[in-house]
Amino acid sequence: PERARGVIPGGVNSGQRNVPGLTDLVITRAQGASFWDSDGRRYTDYHAAFGPPLLGHNDPDVVRAVAEAGGSLDLCGVGVTEGEVELAETLVELVPSMERVLLTSTGSEATFHALRVARAATGRRLVVKFQGCYHGWHDSVSLNVISAPDRVGHKDPISTGILPEVLDATLVLPFNDRDAVRAAFAEHGADIAAVILEPVPHNVGCLLPDQEFLVTLREECTRHGSVLVFDEVITGVRHGLGGWQEVAGIVPDLTTMGKAIANGYPIGAIGGRADLMDMFSSRPGAPVFFAGTYNGHPAVVAAALATLRKLHAEPVHEHVFRLGERVRTELPPVLASLGVPAVVTGYGSVFVTYFMDRLPHTYDDLLDNDTRMFVGYRRRMIDQGVFELPLNLKRSHFSYAHTDADVDRLIEVTEAAVRAQL
Ligand code: PMP
């Protein structure tokens, strides 16, 4: 930690900065459902590096595929590899909206390109986004009102350094609010280039979307010629091989993916309608210029192909969905017996505990979550070697490597941690 603080701002690169004490955690290795710190302590991992390792850390089949691809085979940028074609074909087959696919190295790039092509195709400026949704770090859309409940209602960006023009070109609406969507289109329809959303906002835990809300988005975008973008960086692959669009039966115009596609290797993907995707090119004078040194890196593509192959061949979803369902059904009565108002929600492999008396449906509902309870219980969980996400992100993930014994322990440790908070 001392060395880290000398060279890395705050001593840590990601997500733990806001959790007292956790900036001292130095991770030495990860395997399956666990990671270890430099004191040799093992943690059962529900954080999962914000979500990628659906198969578990260092899945042997993925690791083998990467080794066989050869880490130094940096052919990206030269031409196309067979692996890239196979991966694009696989995604086109799996994801309803994808007629063409381009690979990126992160989810942020995928959403950045999606909004850029939407603005280019429509000649319009405004992007509609929703409270509680996060789409990566870039300035194509304002990142305001993304996560921490104490920021509800703030119209300030969560980060400074964003151009005012970007904020002006972003319309932030309440999630699950059809009337707000209709009103926004009635007023600004001719200027709305794109509507982007996490179909299930998981960066605030879990707000399950009303089907009618998604239907309204599809209808309004079609009526007004705006591009509907599903940001499935979290939900894609994890909630089913075809993502939430398959679950909901609603086809967006563009889809962005990342995280679980390559089980932890750096990847993103953007795909969708051929007429939009064909605007991208790395030829000078192309309607939308597209390039990236590491896009389609052979080792990453090999990881993605091995991941998708295994997701097809083995009952991964069945396993992680069953574990998730166990927590969602078995934890609530335990918390109720302690007299603590709590709901356990989520979908499939993702579970989320809110300390409130009803399921949150909108971002504003999250104001009622007892965050003091969450912070205290999570700290106690970590002391017992059960690692969940920090306060503002809140979702927990199962992987194929988690077991029923992990669920038993999770419930036991949660009960003890919450009891100690009373
Ligand atoms: N979109 C969503 C929905 C995300 O959750 C994230 C990352 N948490 C991103 C985009 C950005 O992806 P990356 O961190 O790979 O740039």
| Domains, in order of start, for the chain | 2-59+315-421 (3.90.1150.10), 70-313 (3.40.640.10)
Residue from 1, 15, 4 nearest 394 by CA? 15
pLDDT band at 21 (very low <50, low <70, confident <90, very high): low
Q: Which residue has the tokens 């059904």?
A: 329
pLDDT of 16 higher than 80 = no
pLDDT of residue 159: 60
Q: Catalytic pick from 45, 177, 231, 406?
A: 231
User: In the annotation, is 134 catalytic?
Assistant: yes
Crossing angle of helices 60-69 and 298-313, in 10° steps, is 150
Tell me, using a 6 A CB cutoff, whether residue 231 lines ligand 1: yes
Tell me, using a 6 A CB cutoff, whether residue 234 lines ligand 1: yes
Which percentage of the chain shows pLDDT scores above 70? 90
pLDDT of 247 higher than 90 = yes
Give how far the C-alpha of residue 369 lies from the chain's centroid of Cα atoms, to the nearest Å.
Answer: 21
The 10s digit of each residue's pLDDT in 307-360 is: 999 999 999 999 999 999 999 999 999 999 999 999 999 999 999 999 999 999
Distance (Å) from CA 187 to ligand 1 centroid? 30
Report the amino acid identity of residue 49. Answer: A
User: In the annotation, is 259 catalytic?
Assistant: yes
The 10s digit of each residue's pLDDT in 169-194 is: 888 888 999 999 999 999 999 999 99
Pocket test for ligand 1, best of 113, 202, 259 (most atoms within 8 A of CB): 259
Tell me, using a 6 A CB cutoff, whether residue 136 lines ligand 1: yes
pLDDT of 149 higher than 60 = no
Atom 13 of ligand 1: nearest residue by CA position: 107
Atom of ligand 1 nearest to the CA of 268: 15
Distance (Å) from CA 108 to ligand 1 centroid? 6
The answer to which of 64-73, 150-159, 311-320 has the lowest mean pLDDT is: 150-159
Tell me, using a 6 A CB cutoff, whether residue 395 lines ligand 1: no
User: In the annotation, is 394 catalytic?
Assistant: no
- Cβ atoms of 99 and 277 within 8 Å: the answer is yes
Distance (Å) from CA 233 to ligand 1 centroid? 6
Mean pLDDT along residues 145-162: 47
CA distance 89 to 249: 21
Atom 9 of ligand 1: nearest residue by CA position: 136
pLDDT of residue 17: 58
Mean pLDDT along residues 255-280: 97
pLDDT of residue 121: 97
CA distance 173 to 373: 29
Distance (Å) from CA 336 to ligand 1 centroid? 34
Distance (Å) from CA 107 to ligand 1 centroid? 5
The answer to which of 21-25, 259-263, 330-334 has the lowest mean pLDDT is: 21-25
pLDDT of 156 higher than 50 = no
SS3 call for 203 = coil
Atom 1 of ligand 1: nearest residue by CA position: 135
pTM of the full structure: 0.95
pLDDT of residue 15: 58
Tell me, using a 6 A CB cutoff, whether residue 138 lines ligand 1: no
CA distance 173 to 388: 29
Tell me, using a 6 A CB cutoff, whether residue 203 lines ligand 1: yes
For all residues of the chain together, what is the average pLDDT? 89
Residue from 322, 330, 383 nearest 353 by CA? 330
Tell me, using a 6 A CB cutoff, whether residue 108 lines ligand 1: yes
The 10s digit of each residue's pLDDT in 193-243 is: 999 999 999 988 999 999 999 999 999 999 999 999 999 999 999 999 999
CA distance 358 to 203: 19
The 10s digit of each residue's pLDDT in 348-386 is: 999 999 999 999 999 889 888 888 888 788 888 989 999
pLDDT band at 155 (very low <50, low <70, confident <90, very high): very low
Residue from 238, 127, 259, 287 nearest 193 by CA? 127
Burial 84-109 (b: 16+ CB within 10 A, else e): beebbebbeebbbbbebbbbbbbbbb
pLDDT of residue 72: 58
Distance (Å) from CA 256 to ligand 1 centroid? 9
Atom of ligand 1 nearest to the CA of 235: 3
